[in-house]
Amino acid sequence: MRDLVVVGGGPAGLATATLACRAGLTVTVVDRHPEPPVDKACGEGLMPDGVEALERLGVAVADLGGAPFAGIRYVDGETVAEGRFPGRPGLGVRRTRLHALLVERAAAAGAELRWGTAVTGLGRRGESAGTFRKSADPFGGKVAGTSETARSTGDFFVVETADGALPARWVVGADGLLSRLRGWAGLAGRPARQRRFGVRRHLRVAQGEVPDKVEVWWGDGCEAYVTPVAGDEIGVAVLWQDRAGEAAGFDRLLARLPRLAGRLQGRPAASRDRGAGPLAQRVRRAFAGNLALVGDAAGYVDAITGEGLSLAFQQAEALVASLVAEGGAGDLERYEYARRRLARLPDTTTRLLLFVERHRALRRRAIRALAADPALFSRLLALHVRDLPLASFGWSGAARLAWRLAAA
């Protein structure tokens, strides 16, 4: 029996597979897409800590290509605030290029990659009794109490595919934002009240038009993220708040930001539009029995801070460390603790920004405050990418921020 079956061959699943193989585990990755690389709606900006995590996976920045960015630029009306990363830059890179290199790393590490393999459900087998019984229907229905039973009896989950079951010591759900494994294992939390969606398009631009920072253009009810991904190409992702299912395509959303729309007018598209959502996905916890969730499947708040990929790679490292803990016996409680610790700061930052985004007057005041104090903005970015410990920001930093907000 193999050690690990990873459901989902995206960045989180491939990072987990690569690290697990390096730790001496036998790994099979299954994914429904017929072949890589697989594109997805994504902001495509890797924060500096995400670039470092990629390098630990053996992916060289030079191989990624893409375009570096030195920080973040907020634009709200006539107000522009800029903050710089304190150390190395971030990197904008096309999702397809990133995915292709992660596939290469996983294959080189020894993972078995099964593309075009659809997972149809989860089974649950009691090791002591040797029995096998269905734990969920193949259409994603939640089974109440499944995870509690699995934890208390020692039962373990088995991945079912159209080609048969794939028993393994451990199962990893890395099947993305709308994870079916999360529902099948009974780990999904309550649906979020706020429904946000995103859509992305690539545009060809002149080389002098590629920004040196990721730009966030703020509007009422939506914001756009402009990320450099090549010397002559940008990715533009628009996030918006769904109100009663209103129709909102890329061009219609961009029209809410007339200055940006005017700047991009006439620039040819370099990809077809891709959308995602609803973005907020809650989990009760990220493991049950022998199954663990990683990446977007393990819960997601919003894309507003751009930390999704960085957090996925860090979760993969924590998960594999937990699987080989206790002399190889594994400890998913340890993973859950690490996952919550890793998510604490980015989730808090994301919720604060979402609150600000929904309140126009507060948003404009906050951006004026950051525009007036670029050094403060840079310090906040350093906290965000883990280059500066929270304790070092201290009361003085909080007081400085409060004073700037009051004066803005």
Peptide bond into 278 cis (omega under 30): yes
Asked if 179 and 207 sit in the same domain, the reply is no
- Return d(Cα 97, Cα 296) in angstroms, integer: 20
String of b and e for 375-405 (b: at least 16 CB within 10 Å)? Answer: ebbbbbbbbbbbebeeeebeeebeebbeebe
pLDDT at 237: 94
> Do residue 106 and residue 175 come from a single domain?
yes
**pLDDT by residue, tens only, the chain of 408 residues:** 889 999 999 999 999 999 999 999 999 999 999 999 999 888 789 999 999 999 999 998 889 889 999 999 999 999 999 999 988 899 999 999 999 999 999 999 999 999 999 999 998 875 432 333 333 332 233 333 333 434 433 468 999 998 899 999 999 999 999 999 999 999 998 888 878 899 999 999 998 889 999 999 998 888 999 999 999 999 999 999 876 555 578 999 999 999 999 999 999 999 999 998 889 899 999 999 999 999 999 998 888 888 889 999 999 999 999 999 877 778 899 999 999 999 988 888 888 888 888 888 999 999 999 999 999 899 888 888 887 777 777 777 778 878 787 877
For residues 224 and 266, membership in a common domain is answered with: yes
CB 62 within 8 A of CB 101: no
Per-residue pLDDT, 113: 97
Looking at the fold, whether 107 and 215 belong to one and the same domain comes out as no
pLDDT of residue 41: 86
Of 349, 373, 401, which residue sits at a domain end? 349
pTM: 0.89
| Same domain membership, residue 206 and residue 157 | no
Q: Which two tokens stand for residue 358?
A: 């929904």
The pLDDT of residue 265 is 93
Q: Read off the pLDDT of residues 174-202 as tens digits, 9 standing for 90 and up.
A: 999 999 999 999 999 888 887 889 999 99
Q: Three-state SS across the chain?
A: CEEEEEECCCHHHHHHHHHHHHCCCCEEEEECCCCCCCCCCCCCEECHHHHHHHHHCCCCHHHHCCEEECEEEEEECCEEEEEECCCCCEEECCHHHHHHHHHHHHHHHCCEEEECCCEEEEEEEECCCCEEEECCCCCCCCCCCHHHHHHHHCCEEEEEECCEEECEEEEEECCCCCCHHHHHCCCECCCCCCCEEEEEEEEECCHHHCCCCEEEEECCCEEEEEEEEECCEEEEEEEEECCCCCCCCHHHHHCCCHHHHHHHCCCCECCCCEEECCCCECECCCEECCEEECHHHHCECCCCCCCHHHHHHHHHHHHHHHHCCHHHCCCHHHHHHHHHHHHHHHHHHHHHHHHHHHCHHHHHHHHHHHHHCHHHHHHHHHHHCCCCCHHHHHHHHHHHHHHHHHHC
Q: 102 and 13 in contact (C-beta within 8 Å)?
A: no
The verdict on residue 49 lying in a domain is: no
CATH label of the domain that carries residue 224: 3.30.70
**Domain at 31, CATH number:** 3.50.50.60
In a domain, 362, yes or no: no
The whole-angstrom separation of Cα 346 and Cα 353 is 10
Query: In this predicted structure, what is the pLDDT of residue 267?
Result: 95
Contacts of 70 (CB under 8 A, 6+ apart): 84, 85, 89, 90, 212, 213
The token pair at 124 is 């649950």
Split into its structural domains, the chain has a count of 2
Same-domain check for residues 203 and 149: no
Residue 237 included in any domain: yes
- Do 27 and 104 lie in a common domain? yes
Specify whether 247 is located in the same domain as 264: yes
User: By residue range, what is the domain housing residue 344?
Assistant: 2-38+100-192+279-349
- Tell me if 125 sits within 8 A of 167, measured CB to CB: yes
Last residue of a domain, one of 330, 349, 368: 349
Helices 332-358, 360-372: axis angle to 10 degrees equals 100
The reply to whether 185 and 201 lie within a common domain is no
- Neighbour count for residue 272 (Cβ, 10 Å): 9
Q: What does the alpha-carbon distance between residue 256 and residue 239 come to, in Å, rounded to a whole number?
A: 12
Whether 301 and 316 share a structural domain: yes
- Of 150, 148, 170, 149, nearest to 159 by C-alpha is 170
Query: How far, CA to CA in Å, does 393 sit from each of 5, 205, 402?
Result: 42, 39, 13
Pair (203, 143) in one structural domain: no
β 2-7/168-173 pair status: parallel
Answer whether residue 381 is part of any domain.
no
- 290 in the same domain as 174: yes
| Interior angle at CA 237, CA 344 and CA 191, nearest 5 | 50
One-letter amino acid of 88: R
Domain assignment present for residue 79? The answer is no
Half-sphere exposure of 372 (CA within 13 A, CB side): 15
